[in-house]
Structure formats: C-alpha cells, structure tokens
Amino acid sequence: MIRYDLRCAEGHGFESWFRDSAAYDALHAAGQVACAVCGSTSVDKALMAPAVRSARRRAAEPAETAPQPMLSTPPQGPMAEALTALRAKLEAEADYVGPAFAAEARRIHEGAAERRAIWGEATGAEAKALVEDGVPVAPLPFLPRRDD
C-alpha cells in the first residue's frame, strides 16, 4: 500500500491510499480519483516527503501514538454540507435496523412489515439480491456512527 498526499484544483489537501503507484495512475487516468472535500476530479499528487524515522527518533517516540485523521483538512463546502444534512434527515426520519437491513427491507417490500423508511447495513450480495428482486434500495455515502 502507498499513501499519497493529494490536492485538487480548488486547493483542498487530502490523502488517500492505493495498492501501488500503478493503481493510482490507472484510477487517476480514468477520472476516479476525486477530492474528498469538493468532489473535483481535477486532482494531482502534492509535494510530500517520505516518512523516514531514524532509530534514535523511533526510540524517543511514545509506544502508542494517536491515530492520524484521514484528511488534511476537514470536509467543507456544498457537498459536505449536503451530506451532513442528508445524515441529519435520515437519522431523524428513518429507523436504523443495523445488519438486519436486507431482511427488514424485504419484509417491508413484501408487506409483512410496516411500510417505513429504514437504513442499515448489508453485504454486497444482500444488496444485489434486493435490487434483483425489485426492492428499492440505495447505498449511503457514510457509515453508521459507532454508537448506532
């Protein structure tokens, strides 16, 4: 795995991990590398220095370090605001059913459960089976909070 610091044409800095440099090149050429802040696909590698630590520096560091944030800058702008609003609306108006999502969605579709908005988690195979059976589902651009 390789981590690249990236920057979009709007100046947003963020980082992303890729299998290797060839994987980055292929995804970038296909327009599939997008800014984590604004969604722009006009993204290039930012200047970065390798994270090399000497044995003396490693010995001086504490054994455990706090996890580093995934983004250099917190998400902001219209896309981040829209996702925040979507999440708030979903949490206020829909029932979180967790890993039972596929079974509950099927029950609602078949009329065996009360018709209501739900959200939760499903495997790729479960989601594919729901779509193939005509159950209306859509992926969400975020994960449930740890306390859900």
Give tens-digit pLDDT for 20-33. Answer: 888 889 889 988 88
Local confidence band at 134 (pLDDT 50, 70, 90 cut-offs): very high
Whether 74 and 36 have beta carbons less than 8 Å apart is answered as no
Local confidence band at 47 (pLDDT 50, 70, 90 cut-offs): confident
pLDDT at position 118: 95
As a whole number, mean pLDDT of residues 36-40 equals 83
Listed residue (67, 4, 68) closest to 35, CA to CA: 4
27: left (phi over 0), alpha (psi -120 to 50) or beta: alpha
DSSP secondary structure string, 94-128? SEEEETTHHHHHHHHHTTSS----EEE---HHHHH
pLDDT at position 100: 95
Residues whose CB is less than 8 angstroms from the CB of residue 107 and which lie 6 or more positions away in sequence, other chains included: 113
Local confidence band at 64 (pLDDT 50, 70, 90 cut-offs): low
pLDDT at position 79: 81
Mean pLDDT of the chain: 82
